[in-house]
Amino acid sequence: MHDSHKFKIPMGPQHPALKEPESFSIALKGEKILGVEIRLGYNHRGIEKACEERSYIQDIYLIERVCGICSHSHSTCFIQAVEEIACLQIPERAKYIRTLIGELERIHSHLLWLGVAGHEIGFDTLLMYTWRDREVVMDLLAELTGNRVNYAINTIGGVRRDVSEQQALDVLKAVDILEERTKYYIGIATTETSIIKRLLGVGVLSHEDALRLDAVGPTARASGVTRDVRRDDPYAAYGSLSFDVITDNHNDVYGRTLVRVKELLESFKIIRQVIKDMPAGPLSVKAPRKIPAGEALSRYEAPRGEDMHYIKSNGTEKPERVKVRAPTLANVQAVKHMLKDRYLADMPIVIAAIDPCFSCTDRLISVDYLDTNRKQIIKWQDLHAYSIAWHRRHGIDFTKLNKETRGAGF
Amino acid sequence: MPQEENIKQELIKKFSCLENRVNITRPRRLFLEVDPADFEKVFVFAKNDLNFSHLISITGLDEQDKLSFMYHLALDSGIVLNIKISVSKENPVIRTVTGYFPGAEIYERELADLFGARIDGLPPGNRYPLTDDWPKDQFPLRKDWKPIV
């Protein structure tokens, strides 16, 4: 890719794990991004329409499949709105169990992200470590709910499974292990010059732009926006728990990394309180099959940011309208802004930094040479390799760090 | 619920047309319905004077002979104001709010694709979420729309 050429690179569009898949058409001059066009919706599955044709109970399981990672986020967000319309007061113990699963989900999601981020910048040892550590939380989720993802713990009026005393001890044991590992990652992120050099100043989103574009979650909090639904609009047990909203003022991918790793520590803090304070009592209250006519709006702080569900009921066993706004849809607008005037080599990490589950599919990228009409096909892997090599030429090389950290801390 | 009640009173004081049309359904939730002609005034007042600086999303609703659109605005303190407007199905035109919230673009495109709303003032761009070859007169989230088997 020579500097004198202008290119247009269509990137995407399929990544089936999300409700909002994306495709980027990137105009380049040499290595610089002139502008980005975003096309969404390639994998729209019509879940909102499907929900109108199914019962509330069936919808819980459908909604849980909006996202493979934030499954508990979506089912809790949906169910809270339904319970509000039906005027159901769910038992305190159920609120704590929902919070526990929600925070374990956040840990698994943030560790997964940290690994993906490591991979995108060529620090694959970090990927191996974090994904191995993530297994600790996946095993725990499987022990508590029977599933690694799509936990099916929620039902209208409460939860479907209890947490035994032994399971509570297992949770605390796992949290101790994960906390030690997280501290090690925070140490790496704040002291390793290669990481700092590679992420600092990349994918900048100023505080004003984060507010203007309505960014959510760690993406917004890394631009100094102190918004967190858990604190601002408390649900489940969050109103009775003490935790900090982590923000950062780096406004870039480095800031987004720090926010996520530090949020892991807050999740451990929350989980310890949940286990300690979880009241005894029933798991659910009886819910009517038909939900009275009404409407409710529910919010939930998913790992990627604010999730919103609006439900309108009509007195039958099926909802009149189910609206879902998942966090990536709110953040995808900001990506366009972050990429402008940046280098193509930063594209993988900038896109990965909003955590859109972008790396779960294989993609082809075709390059149109705008000035010669020549076409070339490159794969995502090639773009990844290009990114690593480009930064190596510019003095950021993870080869040594990969070797040095291998086996560290064991 | 003092803050919610204050917001309700401020809105009614400023716009007499909102008398009896603002409901506080629970702590931190207000729902109000406004005529399309008054919408922009109320919306701008909520954003600028009441500090509802975060547009969460816009929900479309098919309500028999009319289409309704609900704008979900949030305060940093967690209060959500839901402003609803209704227009006829034959001429479902609403004004864009991208001038106030640039992030609203994608939510408005969704209303155009799934409900057939015509968004006045929305600059041309890629559609969302339907495919480019989706028929222009098929709006899947309208109640009378059934999948073609």
Interior angle at CA A218, CA A215 and CA A220, nearest 5 = 30
CB contact set of B62 (below 8 Å; sequence gap of 6+): A321, B115, B141, B142, B143
How is residue B102 written in tokens?
């640039």
Nearest to A308 among B56, B103, B130 (CB): B56
User: Cα(A215)–Cα(A259) distance, rounded to whole angstroms?
Assistant: 15
Which residue's entry shows tokens 């909604």? A63
Tell me which residue of B81, B8, B2, B91 sits closest to B47, measured CA to CA: B81
**Residue A364: what pLDDT?**
39
ipTM, 2 dp: 0.97
A54 touches chain B (CB under 8 A): no
In the 8-state DSSP scheme, what is residue A345?
G
- How many residues belong to chain B? 149
Cis amide bond preceding A348, omega within 30: no
Of A11-20, B66-75, B124-133, where does the model show the most confidence?
A: B66-75
Domains of chain A: 47-343+345-353 (1.10.645.10)
Cis amide bond preceding B2, omega within 30: no
- Does the distance separating the beta carbons of B103 and A214 come in below 8 Å? yes
**Residue A357: what pLDDT?**
47
Q: Using an 8 Å Cβ cutoff, are A135 and A306 in contact?
A: no
How is residue A145 written in tokens?
């709910």
Mean pLDDT across the stretch A221-238?
98
Burial A93-106 (b: 16+ CB within 10 A, else e): bbbbbbbbbbbbbb
User: Cα(A214)–Cα(A400) distance, rounded to whole angstroms?
Assistant: 39
Residue A296: its chain B contacts at CB < 8 A? 25, 29
Percent of chain A with pLDDT over 70: 90
**Taking the C-alpha atoms of B7, B8, B11 and B15 in order, what is their torsion angle to the nearest 10 degrees?**
-170
Nearest residue on chain B to A314, judged by CA atoms? B63
**Residue A372: what pLDDT?**
61
**Residue A139: what pLDDT?**
95
Domains of chain B: 3-89 (3.30.460.80)
- Total-model pTM: 0.91
The Cβ-side half-sphere exposure at B99, using a 13 Å CA radius, reads 9
Mean pLDDT across the stretch B92-116?
95
Q: Using an 8 Å Cβ cutoff, are A73 and A348 in contact?
A: no
Give residue B130's identity as a one-letter amino acid code: L
pLDDT per residue as tens digits for the range A119-170: 888 899 999 999 999 999 999 999 999 999 999 999 999 999 999 999 999 9
Tell me which residue of B32, B25, B26, B36 sits closest to B11, measured CA to CA: B32
pLDDT per residue as tens digits for the range A46-99: 899 999 999 999 999 999 988 888 899 999 999 999 999 999 999 999 999 999
How is residue B146 written in tokens?
């059934």
E strand or H helix at A385: helix A380-393
Q: Is the pLDDT of residue B126 over 90?
A: no
Backbone angles phi, psi at B63, to 5 degrees: -120, 75
Q: Enumerate chain B positions whose Cβ falls within 8 A of a Cβ in A.
A: 25-26, 28-29, 31, 53-57, 59-62, 70, 72, 74, 76-78, 80, 82, 101-107, 113, 126-131, 140-141
Residue B104: its chain A contacts at CB < 8 A? 214
Nearest to B57 among A37, A215, A325 (CB): A325
Cβ neighbours of A242 (radius 10 Å): 9
Lowest mean pLDDT among A226-230, A242-246, A338-342: A338-342
Nearest to A213 among B26, B103, B107 (CB): B103
Nearest residue on chain B to A310, judged by CA atoms? B59
pLDDT per residue as tens digits for the range A267-295: 999 999 999 999 999 999 999 999 999 99
Dmax (CA) for chain B in angstroms is 53
Return the beta strands (E) in A244-380 as ranges: 294-302, 305-313, 319-325, 364-369, 375-379
Nearest to B140 among A49, A214, A226 (CB): A49
Q: Using an 8 Å Cβ cutoff, are A114 and A185 in contact?
A: yes
Q: Using an 8 Å Cβ cutoff, are A158 and A91 in contact?
A: yes
